[in-house]
Amino acid sequence: MTRPPTAAQRRVIDGADPGTGRLRGTEAQLAALVKRGLAFRHPRPPHDHFLTPAGHRIREAPPDAEDPARPAGPPSSTGVFAARVGGEEDAATAGPARAREVHSAWEGLLELRRMTNPDADTGRPCGWERAHLVRAAALALEAAGHRAAGPEGDGYRVRATPQPEAIAVYGPDTGVLRACAATLEAAGWQAGEYTEPRTRARYLLASPRRV
């Protein structure tokens, strides 16, 4: 389980601008938040620091939560929020708490787009998403209300592919695939349906749009 922020770090997170997530603190505090994946340093002057989606989630979590950095559900590689990619043991678990986590993560991602895309375009995926394709696509799908597949479920499954900047989305039927394609396209991705040569299974191949 990921160690929660220190009291000083929590105060910096809680003091973030409610609209932009802009942080104020000492260089050491800000650097520590960046190292933990809770903040990022803007690449353009004056190089201010802002909350990442994980940082936004912690700010909205109760201060006395057992571990606000790790909500229910599968952890990501950093131990913070991870959207469901499909196939998790607990993918069927849903409820108001999970819905709040997903909403907060999606809003944080849109803010990350606004702050890091050169034209502040929130309709186009940002650098973080291009570096975490599966997690980014899964978040777009879960935030739109699509159901991830359980171990033997009928929901979506997002998987990596050998192609650069492309992920595959599998579903139980073409209706699910087309609904997922519409969601991804609305979130700034481009998606098309294909058939696997060996299995004849239909799937989506999706990539983040650049323009």
Report whether 145 contacts 139 (CB < 8 A): no
pLDDT at 78 over 50: no
Specify the DSSP element, H or E, that contains 111: helix 96-116
pLDDT at 69 over 70: no
Q: What is the torsional sign of CA 59, 64, 65, 70?
A: positive
Three state DSSP letters for 70-94: CCCCCCCCCCCCCCCCCCCCCCCCC
Rounded CA-CA distance 41/51 in Å is 9
Rounded CA-CA distance 192/207 in Å is 9
**Per residue in 112-145, pLDDT tens?**
898 888 888 999 999 889 989 999 999 999 999 9
**Per residue in 166-208, pLDDT tens?**
999 999 999 999 999 999 999 999 999 999 888 889 999 999 9
DSSP annotation of 40 reads E
The pLDDT value recorded for residue 30 is 92
Rounded CA-CA distance 159/133 in Å is 9
Select the highest-mean-pLDDT range: 13-22, 53-62, 75-84, 181-190. 181-190
Average pLDDT score over residue span 67-94: 55
CA 48 to chain centroid: 22
pLDDT band per the 50, 70, 90 thresholds, residue 7: confident
Nearest to 83 by CA among 112, 51, 109: 109
The pLDDT value recorded for residue 90 is 64
pLDDT band per the 50, 70, 90 thresholds, residue 80: low
The pLDDT value recorded for residue 168 is 96
Q: Cβ–Cβ contacts within 10 Å for residue 164, how many?
A: 8
